[in-house]
Amino acid sequence: MLEIKNLTIKAGTQTLLQNISFSLSPGKCLGLTGASGSGKTTIIKAIMGILPKSCALTAGSIFLDGVELNKLSGKKRRSFCGSVMGFIPQSPMTAFDPYQQIGTQMIETFHICLKLPKEKARILSLEQLEKMNLKDGNRIMNTYPGQLSGGMLQRIAMACLAGMSPQYILADEPTSALDEENRNHLLKLLQGQLHSAGILFITHDLAALSSLCTETMILDKKTIIEQQNTKDIFYHPQQAWTKQFVSTLHMREGGGWDWKDLK
Q: How confident is the model at residue 175 (pLDDT cuts 50, 70, 90)?
A: confident
Domain that holds residue 240: 2-96+166-262
Residue 191's contacts (CB-CB under 8 Å, 6 or more residues apart) are 211, 212
- Counting DSSP H helices and E strands in the chain, the numbers are 10, 10
User: Would you list the DSSP string of 35-59?
Assistant: STTSSHHHHHHHHHT---TTEEEEE
Question: Band of the pLDDT at 75, cuts 50, 70, 90?
Answer: confident
Q: Any idea what the CATH number is for the domain that residue 198 is in?
A: 3.40.50.300
Residue 132 resides in a domain: no
- Mention every residue, 6+ apart, whose C-beta is less than 8 A from residue 229: 214, 215, 216
What global pTM score does this model have?
0.86
198 in a structural domain? yes
Residue 208 lies in a domain: yes
What is the total count of domains within the chain?
1
Residue 263 has pLDDT above 50, yes or no: no
Q: What is the mean pLDDT of the chain?
A: 87
The answer to whether position 185 is within a domain reads: yes
Confidence of residue 251 (pLDDT cuts 50, 70, 90): low
Query: Residue 79: CA atoms inside 13 Å, Cβ hemisphere, count?
Result: 6
State the pairing for strand pair 85-88/168-172.
Answer: parallel
Is 146 inside a domain boundary?
Answer: no
Task: For residue 74, name the pLDDT band (cuts at 50, 70, 90).
Answer: confident
